[in-house]
Structure 1
């Protein structure tokens, strides 16, 4: 008997969970009958979307690479439709070829799933850094956005008419917020089919390798999204079916024109925005909750230091209608 055959199935499944890479596990299906029967029971997966399609790539490479093309086209289409929407009188259900749901169809007991995109969705002015983390159920629950124009060892000269007060750069910061919410809602829409088909999911994360944006769906949010089911929505209402509609939101915004950090670093135009649906209400406790959400999203390293300082700054409350 082969010594490997003596290993119990639970131990092999633990190894598969540690491997987690979807493409590798799909290849393992062809190794043996035993692997073919065990791989579908892996409960922890990472689906990585590749950037390049090589001429000699195998079938799985093509599937994952084609997913990138579809996903990016999906997100860009939502941005275009926001600028020039074109209502379609006959709504149809759009299916993305080689979508995550189709790739994961051979896995039956997935509990934890991470999907990695190769790059972010936002294209901001040079030097600007914008990061966001959004939590969803059937729609947006919370979104934390952290942005600043530049970071360096010496402070840039502060012009009299620049962001010397809150109103000075408000338009730019609102654009940052809307851009992040559009990117988050487009990613969430991409996940709905996965949520419906993978009934055992307990945690789902969609992120990009640049660390720009992250969509998180925890157990309660997954249940809420799953219970929503196949809701028929007019394409015009959901922006040509390219993204989840963002509800009316209340945004708590903090902004400091210039921050000095440890080690002599200076951050220019630091902004922290915590977004919640308007129906959640507000009040005095919101500031405490803002701190918990912001530190959970960006609590480490340089970003954590920026967040700690911004949480001490004066906050401004803004409201935005559904879009």
Structure 2
């Protein structure tokens, strides 16, 4: 090998790529953990990465020194004995998503160093490094029952959209969800379409718990994106794919306007809230004792569809409801279930005051 060949081997051909093309590659990666590793590759990478416009952040539990919520109760000097909380499980489960989000909003001081490991950085600290973000996807760590109570059901998923406050929410749940390949067309189906009081109360608990989880995520987003004017859409989900909150550009502007004009709430009250306020809402609830989904081979027992809208903004947008669960392949059966249940004329209507 001669000297010229050695020189050609030493050329870094990636450096010959123009900056816009490198940014396009980084936007295709969009995973924060991977992008963080690229920061130390070269000065060029370090200068280009803050300019990306598409970012996915997967938050890790150890970034916030998480303990089990029940463990927090046992160590809190003002906590009540566990036996008392078991007498009021409704209050106990509603407290979980708020504690969860509180830890996200108030991370350990040791996690705020800009050069710290991405697995220990807070959401605010991560976004400070990316000022041109237009599309943000945030995945929260999750434990069953923390981000929306799934007590009394095997399946519970929710989707919500917020502006300044809740605009719409859909919940699908089932007491039992399993696959059955041998359907009998002549099998007698349950004719009892009514919910007993205790069953209805349980579904109200699912509803309120999911609303609190969604409003807590909305409050977290307000804190995170208030100084990022270029963001056009955000999605917040969790690792167990239980709940998803989405906001488009118009909804983000409404939300940030509400955040910057918090005097109407009272500055102190707004700054101390761990979730956004839920307005007066109307709840439509469909219930099917046993729902057979022949295309996917699944069976839902105690199948429940819940649709929530602010009372002053009632929407009959059934198209959005069916699309709310039109996600990845594993959610296709849920879309089928929604389309079947929403065609049923029998459903319950109730109202919940703001909280």
Cα deviation digits, residues 218-265 of structure 1 (max 9, x gap): 111001112223314459966951111111111121111111221654
The answer on 1:275 being equivalent to 2:302 is no
Task: Give CA-to-partner distance per residue, 1:164-207, whole Å, 9 cap, x none.
Answer: 51345211111111111011111111111222121110111110
> In the alignment, which residue of structure 2 is the partner of 1:26?
36
| Cα distance in structure 1, aligned partners of 2:269 and 2:311 | 19
Report the equivalent of 2:195: 166
Q: CA deviation at 1:50?
A: 2.3
Contact 2:222 2:259 in 1 (8 A): no
Tell me how far 1:67 sits from its aligned partner.
Answer: 4.1
Task: Give the 3 Å change call, closer, same or farther, for CA 181–117 of structure 1 in structure 2.
Answer: same
Matching of residue 305 in structure 1 with residue 333 in structure 2 = no
Partners of 1:195 and 1:225 within 8 A in 2: no
1:47-66 correspondence to structure 2 within 5 Å: 47-51=57-61, 65-66=62-63
- Aligned residue pair count: 289
2:4: which partner in 1? Answer: none
The residue number in structure 2 matching 1:130 is 156
SS in 1 for 2:275: coil
Q: What is the alpha-carbon distance in structure 2 between the residues aligned to residue 138 and residue 176 of structure 1?
A: 23
Pick aligned residue for 2:246 from 207, 216, 222: 216
Does the CA contact (< 8 Å) of 1:49 and 1:117 recur in 2? Answer: yes
Distance 1:126 1:273, change over 3 A: closer
Superposed displacement of residue 42, structure 1 = 0.7
Gaps of 5+ in 1: 52-64, 84-93
What is the deviation of 1:99?
3.4
Please give the TM-score of this superposition, normalised by the length of structure 1: 0.79
Change (3 A) 1:260 1:68: farther
Conserved 8 A contact 2:237-2:243: yes
Paired residue for 1:139, among 156, 165, 171? 165
Given the superposition, is the C-alpha separation of residues 172 and 322 from structure 1 closer, same or farther in structure 2, using an over 3 Å criterion? same
Once the 2 structures are TM-superposed, how far is the Cα of residue 124 of structure 1 from its aligned partner? 2.6
- Which residue does the alignment assign to 2:106? 96
User: After superposition, where does 1:1-323 map in structure 2 within 5 Å?
Assistant: 1-51=11-61, 65-67=62-64, 69=66, 96-97=106-107, 98-119=121-142, 121-125=147-151, 127-152=153-178, 153=180, 164-168=193-197, 169-230=199-260, 231-232=262-263, 233=265, 241-262=273-294, 265-281=298-314, 286=316, 289=317, 291-299=318-326, 300-313=331-344, 314-323=346-355
Superposition RMSD in Å: 3.3
Q: What do the CA deviations read for 1:69-93 (whole angstroms, capped 9, x no partner)?
A: 39x89xx99x76967xxxxxxxxxx
Give the equivalent residue in structure 2 for 1:56: none
- Rate the CA distance shift 1:235–1:245 in 2: closer, same or farther, 3 A: farther
Whether the 8 Å CA contact 1:67–1:99 is kept in 2: the answer is: yes
The whole-number CA distance in structure 2 between the counterparts of 1:315 and 1:258 is 15
Cα contact 1:255–1:310 (8 A) shared by 2:
yes
**Cα separation, 1, equivalents of 2:64 and 2:247:** 20
CA positional deviation for 1:108:
1.0
Q: Which has the larger radius of gyration?
A: 2
1:24-49 Cα shifts (integer Å, max 9, x gaps):
22232222111111000011111002
